[in-house]
A and B are shown apart, each in its own frame.
Chain A
Amino acid sequence: MHELSIVEGILEAVIPEVRKYDVSRVTEIRLKIGELSGIVPQCIEEYFRIASEGTIAEGASLKIEKVPVRISCGDCGYDGEISPGKFRCPGCGGTGFRILSGNEYFVDSVLAD
């Protein structure tokens, strides 16, 4: 169910922005979704088809880029990816790290005619 809220969020992010340009149709929406965010791309696509009907974004394809979880460890200096299911630094096994990416979900750009 909550994918509908997310799809409405996508449309609210996209439509006012593209109206600023002289375009009549959005053909592609590029999303960046962090691996920690819990958003299911297939569900989004299904809901998007329904929610975008009659809008400037109707028929647009969704291009979803997964953003891996990256950390920077203050204890051992490890800088890189970790698995979303294991919140441990692969370098030292500790937890003294900052999450650099993986939580985000945002509309990056669109293609429009």
Chain B
Amino acid sequence: MEIRIVKQILEWNEDVSSDIIKELDEKKVCLINLMGSPGAGKTSLIKKLIEALKDRYRIGIIEGDVAGQIDAETIEALGIPVVQLQTDGACHIEALSIQNILPMFDTGDLDVLIVENIGNLVCPAEFNIGEDFRITVLSVPEGDDKVVKYPLMFRATDALVINKSDVLPYFDFDPDRVRRDERDVNPDAPVFAVSSRTGEGIGEFADWLDRRIAYKLSNGHVLRKPIFSE
């Protein structure tokens, strides 16, 4: 016999993700999902963002890694509350892990929670974790063909950051190609060229983030682009 089911495959992850959004909307905490390859400079970028935003917002960090806690120690040294999330081999973070970690923070004393996702250009893009918005980091040494090769990571994001721009003269990396490719898969996402090492471009990116965070904190929600229009 045929049995009609019509059920979303990752429904439970979506359910938990919606619960997190609801909780953090109420508590007025902005959750940011930062994604990119291993070595793209996610932790260094976070350190720069902490520097740029810490006078205006109370920031917390969730450091996702397959193993170890090097990144968490780096952040902790800055006096910022941080929780290390070890996925024990898993290639992405799921909403349930974030829900379990939230009680470790005093969310009443937080404005912004940045989740550094597992270094990976594939899997994390598939999983909502209750974020208000997503940022994808691509670094110059990775090559300018990544948008074409990993479209989901660059489509399902709210902004693209090209990191390590200071080494552009040494690589055959065409930032205009990346901008063009990004426009093809994600016309609304702004692209920022930065260098966490020299600080170049960080100000402009931090200003963009600042506006998004301020909107969330004063309105209790962000303007979400619906994935599906009815």
Interface SS, A side:
mixed
B151 touches which of A85, A88, A109 (Cβ 8 Å): A85
Give the bracket for the number of chain B residues in contact with chain A: 35 or more
Q: How far is the CB of A101 from chain B (nearest CB, A)?
A: 8
Known contacts being A1-B89, A95-B187, A99-B227, is A104 close to B8, with CB within 8 Å? yes
CA distance A9 to B188 in the complex (A): 31
**B4 contacts A6, CB within 8 Å?**
no
Query: Which residue of B is nearest A3, CB measured?
Result: B123
Known contacts being A31-B9, A95-B187, is A100 close to B229, with CB within 8 Å? yes
**B10 contacts A1, CB within 8 Å?**
no
**B1 contacts A17, CB within 8 Å?**
no
CA distance A40 to B126 in the complex (A): 12
Which positions 21-53 of chain A face chain B at CB distance < 8 Å?
21, 23, 31, 36-39
* Cβ-based interface call for B185 (8 A): yes
Q: How far is the CB of A97 from chain B (nearest CB, A)?
A: 9
A106 touches which of B8, B13, B94, B125 (Cβ 8 Å): B8
**B227 contacts A21, CB within 8 Å?**
no
Q: How far is the CB of B100 from chain A (nearest CB, A)?
A: 16
* Cβ-based interface call for B208 (8 A): no
**B9 contacts A9, CB within 8 Å?**
yes
Which positions 69-89 of chain A face chain B at CB distance < 8 Å?
72, 84-88
Chain B neighbourhood of A37, CB < 8 A: 126, 152
Give the bracket for the number of chain A residues in contact with chain B: 35 or more
* Cβ-based interface call for B12 (8 A): yes
CA distance A88 to B1 in the complex (A): 42
**B8 contacts A105, CB within 8 Å?**
yes
A110 touches which of B2, B8, B126 (Cβ 8 Å): B2
CA distance A61 to B47 in the complex (A): 49
**A109 contacts B5, CB within 8 Å?**
yes
Known contacts being A36-B155, A85-B148, is A6 close to B9, with CB within 8 Å? yes
Q: How far is the CB of B179 from chain A (nearest CB, A)?
A: 14
Scan B130-165; emit 1 where CB is below 8 A from any A CB, else 0.
000000000000000000100110010000000000
Residues of chain B having any CB pair with chain A under 8 Å: 1-13, 89-92, 94, 122-123, 125-127, 148, 151-152, 155, 183-188, 227-229
A5-B92, A18-B3, A39-B126 known; 8 other A-B pairs, CB under 8 Å? A1-B91, A2-B123, A12-B12, A17-B5, A36-B155, A86-B184, A109-B5, A113-B1
